Structure 1
Amino acid sequence: MERLTALDAGFLDAEDADRHVSLAVGAVAIIDGPAPAHDEVLAVIGERILATPRLRQVVRRHPLDLSAPRWADDPALDLAHHIRRAALPHPGTDAELFRFTAEAMESRLDRERPLWQCWVIEGLADDRWALLMKMHHCIADGISTMHMLTGLCDAGVGATYVEAIRATADEGGGAQAAATRTLNPVDWVRSAWNTASALTTGTVKTITGAIEIVDSLLRTGPASPLNGPVTTMRRYSAVRVPLAGALSVCEAFGVTLNDVALAAITDSFRAALLRRGEQPRHDSLRTLVPVSVRADDAADQTGNRVSVMLPYLPVDEPDRVEQLRSVHRRMARVKSGGQSQAGSTVVSALKLVPFALASRTIRALTALPQRGVVTLATNIPGPRDRLSMMGREVVGMLPVPPVALRLRAGVAILTYADDLVFGVTADFDALPDVDELAAGIGKAMTCLAAAARHPHPGRPGLVLIPPTDDADTPTPHLDRVQG
């Protein structure tokens, strides 16, 4: 009998703490050609979905939550409850697809059934259709969700960008590994001392990181229209930019792809605050940045394996390139400060606490009206190669993040083939300008790519680009924003 971890069950508790929240994550695959017949979809997609045991199971909670919920096979599983079909109104543009995606993600999944849905969406422009996969966050984090979605494709799961990310992060061992590689007694003593010093330093960093996280959650930030109670309705938008342009920015400025994405998000949120008459401050955009701690060989395993970082994004800086540099410095400082290690330590420690206590603690914490964190930005490495679904090319993928914990907007970043895609979910009432928010991210990426191509002669790496406070942001479209 397999039980939910405290972290996985925590997503159920967080959902229970706010009746306006649905903690489901999603992804949309846009596919060339006419949609297949429904019987064919049920046969092919159904078989591939049910190859994942977790998608055949339901959650069974114990009275008073005295022990962790368990996964149990659903004896009455009926694919007709889960695989559904819909058609967009004419003309089937991005706007209609975004509206349907938002509405499909609003409702909570039925806990009496396996916690997933799959929507076949007909009527897209250019003779296309789409597949929306929706599942509860207690089943999977971003990486495992993407793994399951790509598993529905004809070739199954192939190479993803996660390997490249991990390869650049791998520093080739450390003091402990060095100690095991040497037999010289003097070197062994020196390595043992280095290992002990590293462990002590790591403990201090973890404690420091934990203090920073607690302070971030308890500290009341400036009043923000981006933080507050949410309704049950959502808006969704997305923008796609060339991955090559983003990588050119990485090379030109010596930053990571995540830095570039966060800088573009920073610029767009700055514009959103200015549209609301708010003066962006250095502490206006505390951002929840999930960090995967999933091993390379565990991508096919369900469940959540994440930690968190809570940096301030520099919305007070008007210059886009300076925003990028500031993001790079802040992310480096947060990474070295131990927030990610602290988050992992807390998750591990929850396993040692009686589940009833852990569950009540998580539910109480998620019910608190936190005002320190304003938004979510999560990076999901997707497939390196273009995929096909039932013999039809998957021309695009869109990530769909949830909205919860008084965060009125969330951004998911997805790499797919030669695309970098930003998906934005927002509360319906609080952010009616979600299209402008997505388009602003694309515009910032365009300007950063231009800066990488044409450095300013007086300041290496800089270029004169339009200010961020203009109001002529275009409506987003899934055609590429040219960098």
Structure 2
Amino acid sequence: MQSADSEEMERLSALDATFLEVEDSDPHVSMAIGGVSIMEGPAPTFDEFVASFAGRAQDIPRCTQMLRTHAFDLGPPEWVDDPHFDISRHLHRLAVPHPGGDAELFELVASVMERRLDRERPLWDCFLIEGLSDDRWAVLTKLHHCIADGIAATQIMARFSDDGGGDTFATEIRAAKEQDRGWLSLPKVSLNPLNWVSGIVRTAVGAAVAVEHAAVGAAELTASVLSPGPETSLSGSLTTMRRFSVARARLSDLQEVARAFDVTLNDVALAAITNSYRQLLLARGEQPSHDSLRTLVPVSVRGTNHFNVADNRVSAMLPLLPVDEEDPVEQLQLVHDRLVQAKGSGQREGGNALFEAAEHAPFVVSAWTIRLLTRLPQRAVVALATNVPGPRAEQKLMGRRVLEIWPIPPIGVQLRTGIAMVSYADNFVFGITGDYDGAPDVHVLARGIEDGVAQLVAASRRRRRKRRVKGRAAG
């Protein structure tokens, strides 16, 4: 029965619901995203952990809400309060085996993340992990992707910290500065009727340009998805088991490279990923070609006025990362050029327009369409690389210092690897999820990323030395 209250309930957007459909389309897929906070010891008791998290969870609506779905997808799922909410179902205690190093923690993280969340209760879990070496412990937070994208999930997880979050690097992204204004901005009101006419003309022209820009971008995205690349080991069927690894870099090193070559920090990170995939393919005995690495690069369209809203607000770009290029500096320049081209062609706006169109279609149509598309085999996109800006300053949890934050992306739709990046203070961590059988060498991917960053840092310093020499010679 439809009540007045149900009209006020929060419904999943078409994009939010997509992550449910992706999970439903393949029994081997879990669409949970996660984060690991590596903590400075000593670890709290489990009772202290429960007492701390219980109060904070009650202040986060999604932590006490569950999904209510409709038969035959006649309406979008809705968030409703869990009448039987029990915090003990969501807080757990685990320990890594001796010696408690990264390898043991990677294995535990993969095991936790491969299991699906129970849709009969709120879609999150949190784990206190003990037994780490060097007087450390960890907290693993896991939530379903239908709740939030990377930025929103980071904001939710930050609310468990002692200061409730604080400032993040997310304020520097393009969408944050746009304040969710949408495609069009209305002209300022003027008392001069002649200005009204000129303002209407400018707005009409701007609307036409914006629509055309988005249409071109949407066409490019569609063409990319319908253009399968060469068959490689990077895509294919998935098992239910996962592997996990991380690559570490200093944020200041990436910023140094970005300044030296006049590119963005994201360009530098993607170039390091390109280098690593090239080395991975070569190690597997496969020759990288120009179209071997069509990569899904999510792009935030979230303004700062919606940072604390729990939902998904992303578009997408699908660049070809240049794994056929051997030289790291040339790779970086090609990555930069291709991302500039993708942005200029309107892929971000086009992807957003496609999601907006799905939002205005009857939910039963969009749900069944997504379900069909996610069941079809696809070979066009073979990798995921998503960059999530994290906290600028070091955080504390229960009075203990957070040493590192590791992001954990999901994999699905035949992508056997996925990479998420997060910046935290001066740390920049690449979290890598791989299929257990299809990507047994995720550690090779991690080391390749670190090597790629090191090569670019060395190249930037050589470039800087040459400039100094030339400057002295000119003086």
Q: What is the CA–CA distance in structure 2 between the aligned matches of 1:228 and 1:132, rounded to whole Å?
A: 28
Matched, 1:354 2:354: no
- Partner in structure 2 of residue 254 of structure 1: 262
Q: What is the CA–CA distance in structure 2 between the aligned matches of 1:155 and 1:40, rounded to whole Å?
A: 18
Deviation at 1:169, TM superposition (A): 6.2
- Partner in structure 2 of residue 389 of structure 1: 397
Percent of residue pairs bearing the same amino acid type: 50
- Partner in structure 1 of residue 248 of structure 2: 240
DSSP-derived class of the 1:425 partner: strand
- Partner in structure 1 of residue 329 of structure 2: 321
After the TM superposition, which of the residue ranges 194-203 and 235-244 deviates more from structure 2? Answer: 194-203
- Partner in structure 2 of residue 112 of structure 1: 120
**Residue 438 to residue 221, structure 1, CA distance change in 2 (3 Å):** same
**Residue 234 to residue 439, structure 1, CA distance change in 2 (3 Å):** same
CA contact (8 A) 2:175 2:303 kept: no
Deviation at 1:191, TM superposition (A): 5.4
- Partner in structure 2 of residue 477 of structure 1: none
Q: CA RMSD, aligned part only?
A: 2.3
Deviation at 1:255, TM superposition (A): 0.6
**Residue 120 to residue 68, structure 1, CA distance change in 2 (3 Å):** same
Aligned residue type for 1:386: E
Deviation at 1:170, TM superposition (A): 5.8
**Residue 394 to residue 200, structure 1, CA distance change in 2 (3 Å):** same
- Partner in structure 2 of residue 453 of structure 1: 461
CA contact (8 A) 1:227 1:406 kept: yes
Task: Output the TM-score relative to the length of structure 2.
Answer: 0.92
1:22-171 to structure 2, matched below 5 A, reads 22-166=30-174
CA contact (8 A) 2:299 2:316 kept: yes
DSSP-derived class of the 2:139 partner: strand
DSSP-derived class of the 1:117 partner: strand
DSSP-derived class of the 2:256 partner: helix
**Residue 301 to residue 317, structure 1, CA distance change in 2 (3 Å):** same
Listed one character per residue, the Cα deviations across residues 80-138 of structure 1 (whole Å, up to 9, x for unaligned) are 21100001101110111111111100000011111001011001111100000000001
Match of 1:272 among 280, 298, 303: 280
DSSP-derived class of the 1:455 partner: helix
Q: What is the CA–CA distance in structure 2 between the aligned matches of 1:309 and 1:394, rounded to whole Å?
A: 32
Gaps in structure 2 of 5+ consecutive residues? 1-8, 470-475
**Residue 113 to residue 208, structure 1, CA distance change in 2 (3 Å):** same
Q: What is the CA–CA distance in structure 2 between the aligned matches of 1:299 and 1:176, rounded to whole Å?
A: 21
- Partner in structure 1 of residue 451 of structure 2: 443
Aligned residue type for 1:451: A
DSSP-derived class of the 2:463 partner: coil
Task: Output the TM-score relative to the length of structure 1.
Answer: 0.91
Listed one character per residue, the Cα deviations across residues 241-295 of structure 1 (whole Å, up to 9, x for unaligned) are 1111100111111111111110000000011111111111111000001111111
Deviation at 1:165, TM superposition (A): 2.6
Deviation at 1:198, TM superposition (A): 2.9
Match of 1:197 among 201, 205, 208: 205
Deviation at 1:439, TM superposition (A): 1.1
Aligned residue type for 1:93: G
Gaps in structure 1 of 5+ consecutive residues? 462-483
CA contact (8 A) 2:178 2:303 kept: no
Q: What is the CA–CA distance in structure 1 between the aligned matches of 2:17 and 2:182, rounded to whole Å?
A: 34
Q: What is the CA–CA distance in structure 1 between the aligned matches of 2:86 and 2:222, rounded to whole Å?
A: 44
Match of 2:406 among 398, 406, 415: 398
**Residue 174 to residue 398, structure 1, CA distance change in 2 (3 Å):** closer
CA contact (8 A) 1:175 1:195 kept: no
CA contact (8 A) 2:322 2:335 kept: yes
